[in-house]
Chains A and B, each alone.
Chain A
Amino acid sequence: MSDVEETEIARQVAFRGGGFAPKPYRWIGLAVFVMLISLAELGTQNGFISPLTLPKPSDVFLKFRELYETGLLRKHLEPSLTRLAVGGALGATIGIAVGVLIGLFSYIRAGLVPLVAAIFPIPKIALLPLFVIWFGIDEASKYALIAFGTFTPTVVATYGAVDNVDRNLIRMAQSFGLSWKSIVRKIILPGAMPGILSGLRISLAIAIILLVAAEMLGAEYGIGAYILEAGSLYDLDRLFAGVVMLSLLGVLLSAVIGGIERYVLRWRT
């Protein structure tokens, strides 16, 4: 050993591993928000940012308080949440059902997959006038728009998830003589659940986007109606208050789905 040291140069092997492993730093996300908002506040306070460009964050906050105190917040939130709940539930339920059927039956798959592919890229907003004719200008057309918008991504996510259920598990179930119903209920549905839930995450975000579109026609109250009115009045405080409401709604829904995932998919590694 010692004569190796005499004849060769000993060098430490350079480290080249590490990285590519995301670590959770929760507070950084919060810090970014706080920093951006305080920058906006500072800029609008000293006039560096004109009132035409951005509203004062503090004004937006005041608007929020005003909304809350006058009871208008509830008046706007209630119809929107109802529309979101009814439309989203309708679209997601039918979407999951159709997706499972496509996943299970080849004839249905052959018939419906091209149809779903054809309606997926249609901007549902473009169909709004049609929906008004079909379902009337009141709530039904709003439910229909949101339901339609959540339906297609749910279908695609669901049948993809059904396709991805481990075939070995199905073969196992057949080898134990499980009935078709049991295989669907106990193997395919739980096996497809991760895919369905991550599809729902996207579908519900789309539902929130469509909420604004749905409230374009004939809605007096609702977050979307509130935002549109603020936009046409060029009232930036209200506009941002409305946008913040949508963002919060999105964060909330995502958290709810996260919670459901943690509970329903606790078997996942």
Chain B
Amino acid sequence: MDIRLSGISHSYDGFEVLRDITLDIPSGKIVCIVGPTGCGKSTLLRLIGGLERPAKGSVLQLGLPAEDCLNPLTYVFQDFALLPWRSVAGNISLVLEDHGMKKSAITEIVNNVLARTKLTEFARALPKQLSGGMKQRVAIARALAVKPAVMLMDEPLSALDSQTRELLMSDLVKLWTQQPFTAVYVTHNLDEAVRMGHSIVVLSRCPGKIREIIHLEKPLAERSYGDGELQFRQKYLWNLMRDEALAADAELVNV
């Protein structure tokens, strides 16, 4: 299943945040969205997932999601959004319980995603016992459990320290390599963008417009920390964004 955004504009109380965004998200690819603070990256993600309605334009699903897909558009949040009163396994089963599945079927899925994210031995732990990186792995496992057609990742690694981020990035790459998934990956971190994205969409500052789309051909599994080519791409991105970022930073915050 592909996603097509056609001519999307959006504003809050007359304050325009996104203008005329047209973009295709092809199946099986990771599309990174980068841009300066307040350029509407997260808003765009909420529009794609149906948590908000665009003021203009439309979000289209092209084709049908796979038969066994429980929640075609699935988010991974920056703050993990785990229920503190449920165990790791409980947090994952939470999103399966409303689908009229048998208990044994739920357990099977939970065990499967726990194994894929190397969390099996933490199944009974409570979120308060986990580190930030572990919590995000639980959130990713939860997202995988509903077999999404598209993963909508809202700065998934931004709350983590850089070492943990590095580890989790390679985990994500491994997961994708085992079984390619479609994802929209919003980040402000250019290093993440060049490591994770098959294509990178650069938004301008407010109101967010598409400035440029960069395609990276190098397979994800071959991208690594300190790769020369990637650093070159990253520098290019930074040059694109620097002036925008400077201007955005100097603006009054409009909340």
Contacts and interface: CB of A to CB of B under 8 A. Distances in A.
In the complex they form, do A and B come into direct contact, defined as C-beta atoms under 8 angstroms apart?
Answer: yes
B95 A269 contact: no
Contacts of A172: 75, 77, 81
A169 B83 contact: yes
A38 interface: no
Contact of B77 (A168, A182, A186, A187): A168
Given A186-B83, A187-B83, A179 B98 contact: yes
Interface in B45-91: 49, 51, 70-71, 73-75, 77, 79, 81, 83-86
If over half of A's interface residues share one DSSP class (helix, strand or loop), that class is named, otherwise mixed; here it is helix
A33 interface: no
Given A168-B81, A178-B98, A269 B128 contact: yes
Please report whether the interface of chain B is mostly helix, strand, loop or mixed according to DSSP: loop
A171 B51 CA distance: 8
Given A168-B79, A186-B83, A268-B128, A175 B98 contact: no
Interface residues of A, number: 23
A177 to B, nearest CB: 5
B126 A267 contact: yes
A176 B71 contact: yes
Nearest to A171: B51
A257 to B, nearest CB: 18
A176 B146 contact: yes
Given A182-B98, A186-B94, A267-B128, A175 B83 contact: no
Nearest to A267: B85
Of listed B94, B97, B142, residue having the most chain A CB within 10 A: B94
Interface of A: 166, 168-169, 171-179, 182, 186-187, 190-191, 193, 265-269
21 contacts: A169-B81, A171-B51, A172-B81, A175-B51, A175-B74, A176-B71, A176-B74, A176-B94, A176-B142, A177-B71, A178-B98, A179-B98, A182-B97, A186-B83, A191-B85, A265-B85, A266-B126, A267-B84, A267-B126, A268-B128, A269-B128
Given A175-B49, A182-B97, A182-B98, 14 more contacts: A166-B81, A168-B81, A172-B75, A172-B81, A175-B51, A175-B71, A175-B75, A175-B152, A177-B71, A186-B94, A190-B83, A265-B85, A268-B128, A269-B84
Across the A-B interface, give the 7 residue pairs with the lowest CB-CB distance, nearest first.
A172-B81, A267-B85, A176-B95, A175-B75, A269-B128, A190-B85, A267-B84
